[in-house]
Chains A and B, each alone.
Chain A
C-alpha cells in the first residue's frame, strides 16, 4: 500500500512570494490533515478535511493560507504572500473514516519551506 505522498520536498522562496504544496493521501482514506511543524515544535493542525469538506480550519491563517480538496482525494495547500515566520515543514496526514478509524494518523515525509 502506497503511503502519503507530498511534493515538493523542499522549497525556498523570498518573502511575499507564493508557494503551493501538494498531498496525495493513502487510497481510501477519507480524512486529510495539513499540519505545520516549526523547528523545535510539535506539529500544529492547520486544516482537516473529511472527503472534500472542511471539518476544522480554526488555526489556518486565512489571510494568507488556503487549502482545497476538490475531488475528495488529493489536496493543495497554498501560502500567498509568504512571511518569514512561515518557514516550517508542512506535513500532510490521512486516516480512514468510520469503523476503520483507529485514531492513527499516517504522515507523509513533509515539505520543508524556507522563506528568505
Chain B
C-alpha cells in the first residue's frame, strides 16, 4: 500500500544551520506530496506541496523537490531559526492522505 518513511528525530540544530529532513515514499501511480508542520500547541498546517515529478514546493524558506526516480521528497532549509522549532510531517495523497511518523526539530539560539 501507499506509505511514507521519514527521518527519525529528534533533530537539534543551532540557529542558521542547514536543515535536511529525509522523506521517501511508496505508492502506486503518481501521488501528490506534502510537508505539514505542527508548531507547539497548534494543529497541523500545510508547509508546502508538490503534485508532479520534478515540481519544487517552497514556503517560508523551506523547499522540497518531488523526485520520482528516487521516490523522495526531502525537506531543506538553508538557515533555520528558533521559530522553526516544530514537528514536521511528510505526507502523500493518492486517495487518502498518508503521513510519516514526524520529525521533531529543535533550533537553539
Contact = CB atoms under 8 A, between A and B. Distances in A.
Interface string B95-109: 111111110000000
A42 B101 contact: yes
Contacts of B32: 103
Given A91-B43, A107-B44, A42 B102 contact: yes
Nearest to A58: B96
Contact of A41 (B41, B96, B97, B101): B101
Given A42-B102, A43-B99, A45-B96, A109 B42 contact: yes
B51 interface: yes
B93 A109 contact: no
Given A42-B101, A91-B43, A104-B49, A48 B96 contact: yes
Contacts of A109: 41-43
Nearest to A6: B43
B43 A45 contact: no
Interface of B is mostly: strand
Interface residues of A, number: 21
Nearest to B4: A42
A105 B100 CA distance: 15
Interface of A: 3-4, 33, 40-45, 48, 56, 91, 93, 102-105, 107-110
Which 8 pairs between the two chains have the least Cβ-Cβ distance? A42-B99, A107-B43, A107-B44, A109-B43, A103-B32, A104-B46, A43-B99, A42-B101
20 contacts: A4-B43, A40-B101, A40-B102, A42-B91, A42-B99, A42-B101, A45-B98, A56-B95, A56-B96, A91-B43, A91-B44, A103-B49, A103-B93, A104-B46, A105-B46, A107-B36, A107-B43, A108-B43, A109-B41, A109-B42
Interface of B: 4, 32, 34, 36, 41-46, 49, 51, 89, 91, 93, 95-102
